[in-house]
Chains A and B, each alone.
Chain A
Amino acid sequence: MRDRNESLLWMYERMVEIRHYEETMAAVYLEGKLPPKIQKGLAFDIGSGPVPGEMHLSAGQEPVAVGVCAHLKKEDTVVGTHRPHHFAIAKGVPLQAMTAEMFGKAAGLGKGKGGHMHLFDPENRFSCSGIIGASLPPACGAGLAAKKLGRDWVAVAFFGEGAANQGSFHESLNLAALWKLPVLFVCEDNYWAISVPKPEATSIPKVSDRAAAYGMPGIHVANNDAVEVFEAAGPAIERARRGQGPSLLEVRTDRYLGHFQGDAEVYRPKDEVSKLRANDPIPRLAAQLKAQGLMDDARRAQIDARAKGRVDEAYAYARAAEYPAPADALADLFV
Chain B
Amino acid sequence: MSESRTLTMAQAISEAIAQEMERDPTVFVMGEDIGRYGGIFGATGGLLDKFGKDRIMDTPISETAFIGAATGAAAAGMRPIAELMFVDFFGVCMDQIYNHLAKNTYMAGGNIRLPVVLMTAVGGGYNDAAQHSQCLFATFAHMPGLKVVVPSNAYDAKGLMIQAIRDDNPVMFMFHKGIMGLPWMAYFEGSTTEVPQAPYTVPFGEARTVREGRDLTIVTLSQMVHKAAQAAAALERDGIDVEVIDLRTLVPLDRKAVLKSVAKTGRLLVADEDYLSFGLSGEIAAIVAENLDTVQLRAPVKRLAVPDVPIPYSRPLERFVIPQVDSIVEAARALCSAPAVQAVPA
A45 and B184 CA atoms in complex are apart in Å by 61
A69 and B6 CA atoms in complex are apart in Å by 55
One of B69-77, B154-162, B273-281 contacting the partner? B69-77
The answer to whether B65 touches A168, judged by C-beta atoms less than 8 angstroms apart, is: yes
Q: Which residue of A lies closest to B80 (CB)?
A: A141
Check if B168 is an interface residue, CB within 8 A of chain A.
yes
Question: Given A138-B75, A171-B60, A113 and B69 touching (CB < 8 A)?
Answer: no
Check if A137 is an interface residue, CB within 8 A of chain B.
yes
B37 to chain A, nearest CB (A): 18
Check if A332 is an interface residue, CB within 8 A of chain B.
yes
Q: Using Cβ atoms and an 8 Å threshold, which residues of chain A touch B28?
A: 148
A106 and B212 CA atoms in complex are apart in Å by 48
Q: Using Cβ atoms and an 8 Å threshold, which residues of chain A touch B264?
A: none
A161-176 residues with Cβ-Cβ distance < 8 A to B are 167-168, 171-172, 174-175
A118 and B26 CA atoms in complex are apart in Å by 27
B100 to chain A, nearest CB (A): 6
The answer to whether B95 touches A332, judged by C-beta atoms less than 8 angstroms apart, is: no
A172 to chain B, nearest CB (A): 5
Q: Using Cβ atoms and an 8 Å threshold, which residues of chain A touch B112?
A: 120, 122, 127
Q: Using Cβ atoms and an 8 Å threshold, which residues of chain B touch A127?
A: 75, 104, 108, 112
Q: Which residue of A lies closest to B82 (CB)?
A: A141
Check if B147 is an interface residue, CB within 8 A of chain A.
yes
Question: Given A131-B99, A333-B145, A335-B168, A144 and B60 touching (CB < 8 A)?
Answer: no
The answer to whether A120 touches B99, judged by C-beta atoms less than 8 angstroms apart, is: no
1/0 contact string of A128-148 vs chain B (CB within 8 Å): 010100101111111111101
The answer to whether B74 touches A167, judged by C-beta atoms less than 8 angstroms apart, is: no
1/0 contact string of A12-50 vs chain B (CB within 8 Å): 000000000000000000000000000000000000000
A146 and B69 CA atoms in complex are apart in Å by 12
Q: Using Cβ atoms and an 8 Å threshold, which residues of chain B touch A131?
A: 95, 99-100
Check if B68 is an interface residue, CB within 8 A of chain A.
yes
1/0 contact string of B80-118 vs chain A (CB within 8 Å): 100000000000100110011000111111111100000
The answer to whether A141 touches B110, judged by C-beta atoms less than 8 angstroms apart, is: no
Check if A79 is an interface residue, CB within 8 A of chain B.
yes
Which of A111, A122, A175 lies in contact with B69, CB distance below 8 A?
A: A175
A112 and B95 CA atoms in complex are apart in Å by 22
Q: Which residue of A lies closest to B74 (CB)?
A: A141
A145 and B68 CA atoms in complex are apart in Å by 13
A208 to chain B, nearest CB (A): 20
Check if A327 is an interface residue, CB within 8 A of chain B.
no
Check if A67 is an interface residue, CB within 8 A of chain B.
no
Looking at B26, B54, B110, which has the most chain A CB atoms within 10 Å of its CB? B110
1/0 contact string of B147-179 vs chain A (CB within 8 Å): 100000000000000000000110000000000
A108 and B78 CA atoms in complex are apart in Å by 26
1/0 contact string of A299-335 vs chain B (CB within 8 Å): 0000000000000000000000000000000011111
1/0 contact string of A97-114 vs chain B (CB within 8 Å): 000000000001111111
B66 to chain A, nearest CB (A): 7
A145 and B27 CA atoms in complex are apart in Å by 11
Check if B62 is an interface residue, CB within 8 A of chain A.
yes
B300 to chain A, nearest CB (A): 33
Looking at B65, B95, B106, which has the most chain A CB atoms within 10 Å of its CB? B65
Check if B64 is an interface residue, CB within 8 A of chain A.
yes
The answer to whether A134 touches B96, judged by C-beta atoms less than 8 angstroms apart, is: yes
The answer to whether B60 touches A141, judged by C-beta atoms less than 8 angstroms apart, is: no
Question: Given A114-B108, A134-B100, A77 and B72 touching (CB < 8 A)?
Answer: yes
Question: Given A122-B112, A137-B71, A333-B145, A172 and B65 touching (CB < 8 A)?
Answer: yes
**Chain A contact residues, CB within 8 Å of chain B:** 77, 79, 108-114, 118, 120, 122, 125, 127, 129, 131, 134, 136-146, 148-149, 153, 155, 167-168, 171-172, 174-175, 178, 331-335
Nearest 5 pairs between A and B by C-beta?
A137-B68, A141-B72, A138-B72, A111-B109, A120-B108
CB<8 Å pairs between A and B, sample of 8: A109-B108, A112-B109, A113-B107, A120-B109, A122-B75, A136-B65, A140-B65, A168-B96
